[in-house]
C-alpha cells in the first residue's frame, strides 16, 4: 500500500514556541493532503485541506494564522503550530490522496505536548 510518513512522531515544547510537523508521501505524488486533529478516544477532526501550489482551505473554527500549512511540493506538506499553548496539545495526523485509486492514506501521527 501507499506510504505516508510524518516527522517528528512526538514533540514536547514550551508554551509560546512554534512547532513544525512534516507530512510526506513516500511512494506517490499527492496534490491534496489533509491535516486532522484527534483527541484521546475521539474521532479525527479535519482541520484543513492542503493543496500543492495554492493556499490551504481551513475548516470552520480552525485559525489559519495559528495553524500554518505549506504544500510546497507534490510529496511534502507542513503544518506549523505557531505560538503553541497547552490547549494545542493533541495528536496531529496527516493524510494524502493517491489519485489513481482516489484513496486517502494516513500518516502515523505526531503527538504534540505543549508545556
Partner 1 sequence: QKEVEQDPGPLSVPEGAIVSLNCTYSNSAFQYFMWYRQYSRKGPELLMYTYSSGNKEDGRFTAQVDKSSKYISLFIRDSQPSDSATYLCATASGSARQLTFGSGTQLTVLP
Sites of contact with partner 1 (CB under 8 A): 1, 4, 6, 32, 41-44, 46, 49, 91, 93, 95, 97, 102-109, 111
Q: Least distance (Å) from partner 1 to the CB of residue 95? A: 8
What is the smallest separation between the CB atom of 112 and partner 1, expressed in angstroms?
13
Q: What is the closest distance, in whole angstroms, from the C-beta atom of residue 78 to partner 1 in the complex?
A: 17
**E strands, 1-115, where?**
4-7, 10-13, 19-25, 32-38, 44-51, 57-58, 67-73, 76-81, 90-98, 103-106, 110-114
Amino acid at each position: 500500500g501507499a506510504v505516508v510518513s510524518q516527522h517528528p512522531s512526538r514533540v514536547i515544547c514550551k508554551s509560546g514556541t512554534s512547532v513544525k510537523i512534516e507530512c510526506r508521501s513516500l511512494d506517490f505524488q499527492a496534490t491534496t493532503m489533509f491535516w486532522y486533529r484527534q483527541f484521546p478516544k475521539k474521532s479525527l477532526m479535519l482541520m484543513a485541506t492542503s493543496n500543492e501550489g495554492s493556499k490551504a482551505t481551513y475548516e470552520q473554527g480552525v485559525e489559519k494564522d495559528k495553524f500554518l500549512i505549506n504544500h510546497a511540493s507534490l510529496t511534502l506538506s507542513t503544518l506549523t503550530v505557531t505560538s503553541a499553548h497547552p490547549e494545542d496539545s493533541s495528536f496531529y495526523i496527516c493524510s494524502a490522496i493517491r489519485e489513481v485509486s482516489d484513496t486517502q492514506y494516513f500518516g502515523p501521527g505526531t503527538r504534540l505536548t505543549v508545556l
